[in-house]
A and B are shown apart, each in its own frame.
Chain A
């Protein structure tokens, strides 16, 4: 094992982790935004995300015979998923959380888990009526090709990237671009617009914001709409990356993304993104520890393979929370007296 083979391998592992990390990051935003305004962990977010993935699948399926441009299909899939997931998230808040706003903290939490389970089976029934369970994305041919393939105009760049171990497909690049655009859009919305200011005000102190003339209920709905739309985007990205989704696909990424949100500091938007990326990369690095074990000749490290990925991610979470209880970018909450 020399450096010339090992370096591309390590780069490959890190890049793979980053690509998935972007998906986790966008899902984590949904958890973190809702927590920011309501101090509620919206466990139904994993199903809001799967709804987006399924809507995206349906758009690609319906448009499959249509010869239109693949990127246009993607745009339509993203818009449809954002709309459906956003509206769904608003409805969940109206029906399940708003009536419980003044209940003890545990009540909405259990409700959220209940909503999550109900949605799973509703989604399964909807697809089941059409005799479908595992939904495999029918993507435009070009999405599956190598990024800057040998015959394309940017082949030189592609060759350089592949030499150092960055071997991406077009759809991976699409995923990263869409994720970055979503992050940019959200950042602008939250920090540069009146709506964002109002949402931040409600997150800071709902009562005072209300006294200043901000309609807190409306802002909370808007937060759920934005969080849901992001969930929809992440669903389509997940579908691009993984290729197959079903009504129950949300659980695993949901747990990981929630972990990412906590790792970054729950309630912090940049924290959620950082947490997602860090978790994606850490998971992958833990998954290949045994290779380093072979190189270093350490039997202990050789035993750590992909089966430790998830455990390792949670171990990292625990370690970070021991040293920084608020998460990587979380702000400590001063108890109001």
Chain B
């Protein structure tokens, strides 16, 4: 008789403890989520947001010589007020004919280093790991898996304009 009273008391106490343990764990989880989730969302936001594409004027059409490839600078896609010079990005711009322009990204498609245009050899060369591209951006030698990326470029009211875009990543750049 006394034994059964004891065991029922023990099991009631066990239940109580089990409940309190579960309650503490669940509440801790809630506290943890409440503290971290806003911060996680804040930090991850730039990963999912897309910057609007903007056209930037590079200069008057006549300031570019037909057949020449020159480096140009413009404000990049993720511009912040406090970015300073790092708000800028560069491109290689070539005036192909009177009305036609091509703009290449300066980022090597191998690992993103800045490619140089070598006028005499008609080649883009990367200083990091020896990537070389022909004048049309196709890979000529070295490790780059893809041709140089291009920017959209247009002529409006006598000015050459270029459209901002994200850094061209070698793979997976279509997210």
Does chain A bind chain B?
Answer: no
Q: Which residues of A approach B to under 8 Å, CB–CB?
A: none
